[in-house]
């Protein structure tokens, strides 16, 4: 049997557990497909099992245009025309948030290159913990190159960095829709799964975490946090490679015979529609009193790579654009490390929505540029489709991406690997600035920020790095790369 839904000529279906619009290379993942029934925003376990084959999209559909090489490259112009709307932005952010405030501490890092040795030369850093921002930032002349760091690593002891931002809008929506269980996945030392586990536990929800690989002999770092707060299952790498199918099958086992599975994009769209019409969202229920037949399960993609996650980043951009911080006139280059790429897309959308002269530069860590551009396309389309407010629907005529500047890492490597000397570099940064970065993620953004600041002229855009957290992952790296973490005896003396 085939389960199909349609809206505006676009046909969606599910195949083998991974829902995606037919004909689109790579697809949007399980959470990308949508059931567009006016009175239904969930999938029952029995109906999900019947979804097996895929329909072909009409060639005139907006999604077909995404994969059409002849489609005009006018994405930034089209998106800016659609999204730079004050009413749209204000209503988009008028919602309940997980973080009580979008505030973040901002530091300024001066770069001292004593011997002109470049990035790997004799460089030292100095942290200005209370920098001059606002109008004073534009007037102040710096003797040394510098860049700013948005300290999202300080948001929460365990749920920090971009993990907290991506869950900012999502968690209240899960509560509003009476979700009882959450299923997600990640690597053995995934900061994302740990963040989901802690956040769910704080709200009385059950988290089910599928971790790639084998259980380590000693639990530490984010792996330990995930085990303490959530229900962990270690998945062989061969099965983990098919993430959408893996997540769907596990969610089915959690749902049971009479439960239901909610799609995040449907939740976001229903929330937008309810707020536009003044209706109240679904009444919350106590998960401890919830019977199995009332169990509601939501799947969060790896790294929270969903359209809902973009909202928290847009909120952060709005906060940073306040006059007493970076303002709306100062040109910025925002640097961020990219795992799934979701954070970079959210930041770029925020700058676009608010009409800011800001460029987002994302250091690619886990994929090639084509993969990140496809992710950018799908996230933007999901965002446009799910964020319809008061009848205002931004047109999808230019959603072929192009709002993020994807950058190669200065020393590319297989994702998850670190190079000799990088742990020592992180140690030097920590000792000189009090800021801890890790070799896999945030060191990449730090290095690019350093390079950009050294080559910048006085009138150029200011460089701002978003610290995405993840520092507990250093504990796992210390197990995996023991020789890199051995402190020389002379250093102890």
pLDDT values of the chain reduced to their tens digit, one per residue, 493 residues: 333 333 333 333 333 333 333 333 333 333 333 322 333 333 343 433 333 332 333 323 322 333 333 333 445 555 665 566 667 788 889 999 999 999 999 999 999 975 544 444 578 999 999 999 998 776 666 788 999 999 999 999 999 999 999 999 999 999 999 999 999 999 999 999 999 999 999 999 999 999 999 999 999 999 999 999 999 999 999 999 999 999 999 999 999 888 999 888 888 888 877 766 666 555 455 555 554 458 899 999 999 999 999 999 999 999 999 999 999 999 999 999 999 999 999 999 999 999 999 999 999 999 999 999 999 999 999 998 887 644 444 444 444 558 999 999 999 999 999 999 999 999 999 999 999 999 999 999 999 999 999 998 767 899 999 999 999 999 989 888 888 888 665 554 4
CB 164 within 8 A of CB 192: no
207 vs 294: CA distance, rounded Å: 16
Q: Which residues contact 383 (CB under 8 A, 6 or more apart)?
A: 307, 310, 349
The DSSP bridge pattern shows strands 231-235 and 260-262 to be unpaired
| CA 173 – CA 132 distance, rounded (Å) | 37
Strands 10-15, 260-262: pairing is unpaired
This prediction's pTM: 0.81
What single DSSP character describes residue 31?
G
Separation CA 166–CA 313 (nearest Å): 7
Q: Which of 426, 427, 463 is nearest to 441 (CA)?
A: 426
CA dihedral 394, 396, 397, 401 (to 10 degrees): 110
How far is the C-alpha of 128 from the C-alpha of 109, rounded, in Å? Answer: 6
- Cβ contact 425:105 at 8 Å: no
**184: which strand partners?**
209
- Domains of the chain (ranges; CATH) run 73-493 (3.40.50.1100)
Task: Give the DSSP per-residue string, 69-106.
Answer: TTS-S-HHHHHHHHH--HHHHHHHH-S--SSS-----E
Longest CA span, the chain: 72
């Amino acid at each position: 049997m085939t389960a199909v839904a349609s809206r505006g000529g676009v046909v969606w279906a599910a195949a083998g557990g991974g829902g995606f619009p037919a004909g689109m290379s790579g697809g949007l993942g399980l959470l990308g497909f949508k059931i567009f029934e006016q009175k239904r925003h969930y999938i029952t376990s029995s109906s999900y099992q019947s979804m097996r084959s895929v329909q072909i999209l009409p060639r005139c559909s907006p999604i077909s245009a995404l994969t059409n090489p002849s489609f005009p490259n006018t994405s930034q112009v089209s998106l800016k025309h659609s999204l730079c709307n004050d009413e749209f932005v204000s209503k988009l952010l008028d919602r309940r948030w997980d973080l009580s405030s979008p505030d973040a501490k901002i530091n300024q890092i001066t770069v001292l290159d004593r011997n002109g040795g470049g990035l790997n030369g004799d460089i030292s850093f100095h942290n200005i913990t209370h920098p001059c921002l606002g109008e004073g930032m534009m007037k102040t002349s710096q003797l040394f190159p510098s860049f700013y760091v948005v300290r999202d690593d300080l948001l929460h002891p365990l749920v920090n960095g971009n993990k907290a931002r991506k869950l900012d809008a999502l968690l209240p929506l899960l509560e509003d829709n009476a979700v009882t269980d959450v299923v997600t996945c990640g690597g053995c030392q995934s900061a994302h799964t740990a963040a989901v586990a802690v956040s769910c536990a704080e709200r009385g929800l059950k988290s089910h975490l599928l971790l790639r690989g084998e259980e380590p002999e000693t639990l530490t770092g984010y792996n330990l946090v995930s085990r303490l707060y959530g229900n962990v299952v270690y998945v062989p790498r061969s099965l983990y490679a098919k993430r959408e199918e893996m997540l769907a099958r596990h969610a089915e086992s959690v749902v049971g015979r009479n439960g239901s599975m909610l799609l995040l994009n449907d939740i976001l769209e229903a929330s937008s529609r309810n707020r536009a019409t003044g209706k109240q969202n679904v009444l919350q229920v106590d998960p401890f009193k919830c019977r199995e037949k009332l169990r509601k399960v939501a799947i969060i993609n790896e790294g929270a790579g969903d359209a809902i996650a973009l909202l928290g980043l847009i909120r952060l951009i709005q906060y940073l654009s306040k006059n007493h911080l970076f303002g709306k006139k100062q040109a910025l280059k925002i640097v961020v490390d990219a795992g799934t790429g979701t954070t970079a897309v959210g930041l770029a959308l925020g700058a676009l929505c608010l009409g800011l002269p800001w460029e987002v530069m994302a250091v690619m860590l886990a994929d090639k540029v084509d993969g990140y551009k496809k992710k950018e396309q799908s996230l933007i389309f999901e965002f446009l489709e799910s964020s319809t407010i008061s009848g205002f629907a931004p047109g999808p005529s230019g959603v072929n991406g192009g709002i993020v500047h994807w950058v190669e890492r200065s020393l590319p490597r297989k994702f998850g690997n670190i190079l000799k000397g990088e742990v020592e570099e992180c140690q030097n940064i920590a000792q000189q600035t009090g800021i801890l970065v890790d070799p896999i993620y945030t060191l990449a953004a730090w290095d690019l920020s350093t390079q950009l600041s050294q080559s910048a002229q006085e009138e150029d855009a200011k460089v701002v790095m978003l610290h995405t957290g993840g520092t507990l992952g250093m504990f796992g790296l210390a197990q995996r790369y023991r020789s890199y973490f051995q402190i020389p005896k002379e250093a102890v003396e």
